[in-house]
Amino acid sequence: MPAEPVSAAIALNRFGLGARAGETPPADPKAWLRAQQHHFDPRPTVIAATPHSSALAAAWHEYSTQVRAASMKAKRAANAGLAPSTAPAAVMPVAFAKPATPGKPLQHDVRHFNRDSYEAQERARLLAALTTPAPFAERLTYFWANHFAVSADNVVMLGLAGTLEFEAIRPNVFGRFGDLLQAVETHPAMLSYLDQIQSIGPDSAVQRRASLRQARTKSVGLNENLAREILELHTLGVGSGYSQADVQELARALTGWSVGGFLPPTTAIAAVDGGFVFQPDWHQPGERVLLGKTYRQDGDAQGRAMLADLAVHPATAHHLATKLARHFAGDVPPPALVERLAATHMKTGGDLSRVYETLIDAPEIWSRSLAKFKTPWEWLVSALRGVGVTDAPDLKFVVELRDLGQSIWKPRSPAGWDDTAPSWAAPDALLRRVEVAQRLAATIGDRLDARMLARRLLPGTLRPETSAAIARAASPAQALALLLVAPEFMRR
Amino acid sequence: MLSRRTLLGRAALTGMVALSPHLALANAPTDRRFVFIILRGAMDGLSVVSPVGDPAYAGLRGALADPQGQSTKLDTLFALHPAMTATAAMYAGREALFVHAVASPYRERSHFDAQNVLETGGTVAFAFKDGWLNRFGGMVPQDPAIAIAATVPLALRGKAPVSSYAPSALPDASDDLLARVGALYSADPQLHPLWSAAMDARMLAGANGPGTMAPAALGKLAASFLAKPAGPRLATIEINGWDTHSAQVRRLGTQLKQLDDTLAALKLGLGPVWSKTVVLAATEFGRTAAVNGTGGTDHGTGGLAIVAGGAVRGGRVIAEWPGLAPSQLYQNRDLRPTTDLRALMLGLTAEAYGLDPERVSRTVFPGNNVRAMTGLLHS
């Protein structure tokens, strides 16, 4: 028996990324969603073709080594009383995809390399969204990437931000939350973004040696940024009862967590592959107490044990359940759904596949259509899918996410993008969507009949007023633009 | 050549001017302008207006204490960061003042909760759903407030009508399409008011909106709205990027240059209207008194607010200075707050618009009995 049209619309739009032109609505929406776990490819070809974090680390390592060598040479020349020779020549690091630009400093090349990497990752993300056989799984990927937000705000993060999603999040979307958490907190993008890579314990071996050499070289190198955001954003959630002392204890346990490749060679231990390294000399020794529990492990095992406990803490279960319910059921998360999601998390030790089962079974999600105002990313992806874009030439539209207010991997805050309507439903933001819709429709022109397309994309939710406006439009392109900005297309 | 949009905008503007009691308005208290600049990420007030005369300061700050040795001396205790040249000139011309050791009622260290408190005007996060400036806007008989951004910040969200505008590189949609979209949204309770506000803002902006989003350009854009006789009287601007956990000297220098450029652009763009203007730049909390291990500072409590404008009785640092010795710090790590930021917000807005501060307090900070700071502006 065919599903209720509204149920199909909810499966396609609220759980999925919007119907594609030519796609038949699922006959059994819940079965369609459940099957996606098996159709999801964590590393599709388009994503596998983008630079890995290790390539970015190698480029950065080579760049910083050469800059250091050039500055040493200049210093030696100055000490020998020689006039400074010409500026250091731009030597092309082997890792860079493009040749050095003659006459431009090396910095120019590393910036270019990272910007090219970022743009390739953006296009890969969009292409995967447009061609995926598992749109619900892709949506879950974006959910977790936003939960563990990093932002491409400087030259290093520009290249790295997307690799967190591709390398740490995608492979763990259907696994245990604890594994996802460990993968994220040990990934070079997160460790760099939240200032963890040079956090040094006050009683670490490095600090003890420094204080033997001279009275006090500099203040203690502890940085509590990552620890704070783990507790506040990634696990327990703000206001769940941890103290400043807990933040500091977690920060001390994490000292020594760093990455190869992004630190000066004299500072970091050998690894340059960009992956996680534990620097034993930087670690604050001794037992730590977090949330009243004592951790006696040595080295990085201590922080890992804390993360494992945080992943299955009741406050974490409640925090994640609230965000999932808000994302799928509406801006005001239904308390009963939050309770059920949290209970599944606790009962299964954070098995995310089982948590998603609770989501799929939730009557709160299926009972109200169009409950969520789409974010710019959600709107643009659904519009491109709706008009059947799947190939490279049309991907210039990725650039317009900037004008729509949501550049990929640039939330500018570790809290990620907000997930409620007031952040996105604003006067100028609406106008921009109309402008983008007009441009998109102009390129599709008369290849699509918006009257038929409207019924396909919005089964059961298309309003008579919208149908009439589309039918009365002045041109096929204008009809298409009106469909893409109709109230029911702005929501999911 | 004039586009059709421009012509429509001019016609509408003329209409509005004709309808509003413009001549009476020119001398009315509501001819004042108020701009709220939200500095997101917790600005390090101790680096902006540095208490160089405090005996504990240099020891706590090390390399962060007066990076270039070029700070501008403000009085016997304080010096201003060298990146703020335009602001220093305003201070010298008595058009800028600073309020130090100031904080909202929030005492934890989460950016997100703290920004919620800063913008809602509550005592704890999520106590109010609307913004303090929106509640104040409801008391000002004028055109809607405007957010210089594509989306409206929480400070301006609420019952009083609000518009938003930001420059965009996108080509304009055709007037015909805009009209059809307007009809499509006419029965939608959420989209209809947003669409109307968008159309109004586009008309006010005319063809002169600058094309970039740099903070100084936002200052210029805000000024272009506020300078219009029938334009909005309240505006918000947001500047991100103040969360300086590492490499603070370089990063803060860049941030402060942006803020300084924004203030300069406002003054320049407002022209004669600057004399009727009050600008408040505030952040969610201060940062730790001591430098951390990565050349930066972590989340703290007491901070700094910057007030500028021709209506301001400037040239002074207002601070009940708590001191930076270990025993004087809040929780042994932060500048101790001695002034309630809400008292400053209340004093500035009530004075600017000639409203009874107690009445404003009851509306803007209901149930909290906030008492206004006084004597901040020229009467």
Query: Per-residue pLDDT tens for A347-389?
Result: 999 999 999 999 999 999 999 889 999 999 999 999 999 999 8
Q: What number of helices (H) and strands (E) belong to chain A?
A: 24, 4
Within 304-343 of B, beta carbons closer than 8 Å to A belong to: 331
pLDDT at A29: 96
Q: Do B293 and A422 touch (CB under 8 A)?
A: no
Is residue B25 a contact partner of residue B229, using CB atoms and an 8 Å limit?
yes
Average pLDDT rounded to a whole number, residues A218-243: 90
Exposed/middle/buried for A463, CB within 10 Å: 0-12, 13-18, 19+?
A: middle
A409 CA: distance to closest CA in chain B (Å): 15
Least confident of A2-6, A169-173, A337-341, B301-305: A2-6
Is residue B17 a contact partner of residue B229, using CB atoms and an 8 Å limit?
yes
Q: What number of helices (H) and strands (E) belong to chain B?
A: 13, 12
Q: Which residues of B touch A487 (CB under 8 A)?
A: 184-185, 188, 191
Which phi and psi angles does A293 have, rounded to 5°? -105, 140
User: Would you call A153 an interface residue with chain B, using a CB distance cutoff of 8 Å?
Assistant: yes
Which conformational region is residue A159 in: left (phi greater than 0), alpha (psi within -120 to 50 degrees), or beta? Answer: alpha
- Give CA–CA dist A261/A274, Å, rounded: 5
**DSSP states of A168-190:** IIGGGTTSBHHHHHHHHHTSHHH
Encoded tokens for A359: 């989501």
Distance between first and last Cα of chain B:
44
Q: Which residues of chain B have pLDDT under 50?
A: 1-29, 206-212
Q: Do B293 and A474 touch (CB under 8 A)?
A: no
pTM attached to this predicted model = 0.74
A vs B, Cβ pairs < 8 A, gives: 150
pLDDT at B28: 39
pLDDT at B4: 27
Q: Do B177 and A413 touch (CB under 8 A)?
A: no
Residue A304 corresponds to which amino acid?
Answer: R
Measured between CA atoms, the residue of chain A closest to residue B41 is A413
Measured between CA atoms, the residue of chain B closest to residue A486 is B184
B368 CA: distance to closest CA in chain A (Å): 22
B248 CA: distance to closest CA in chain A (Å): 12
In the predicted structure, residue A210 carries a pLDDT above the cut 90: no
Is residue A444 a contact partner of residue A424, using CB atoms and an 8 Å limit?
no
Within 141-160 of B, beta carbons closer than 8 Å to A belong to: 147, 149-152, 154, 157
What ipTM, to 2 d.p.? 0.87
Q: Do B195 and A430 touch (CB under 8 A)?
A: yes
pLDDT at B23: 31
H or E stretch including B11?
helix B4-19
Look-up: residue for tokens 């408040």? B280
**DSSP states of B119-138:** HH--SSTTS-SS-HHHHHHT
- Give CA–CA dist B360/B139, Å, rounded: 8
A271-284 pLDDT per residue, tens: 667 789 999 999 99
pLDDT at A196: 93
B91 CA: distance to closest CA in chain A (Å): 32
pLDDT at A487: 98
Q: Which of A223, A429, A473 sits opposite B151 (nearest CB)?
A: A429
User: Would you call A482 an interface residue with chain B, using a CB distance cutoff of 8 Å?
Assistant: yes
Q: ∠ at Cα A124 (A120, A128), nearest 5°?
A: 175
Measured in whole angstroms, the distance separating CA A77 from the mean position of its chain's CA atoms is: 46
User: Would you call A478 an interface residue with chain B, using a CB distance cutoff of 8 Å?
Assistant: yes
Within 222-261 of B, beta carbons closer than 8 Å to A belong to: 240-241, 245-246
Within 421-460 of A, beta carbons closer than 8 Å to B belong to: 421-432, 434-436, 438-439
Higher pLDDT, A400 or B280: B280
CB crowding B317-333: b at 16 or more within 10 Å, else e: bbbebbbbeeeebbeeb
B166 CA: distance to closest CA in chain A (Å): 7
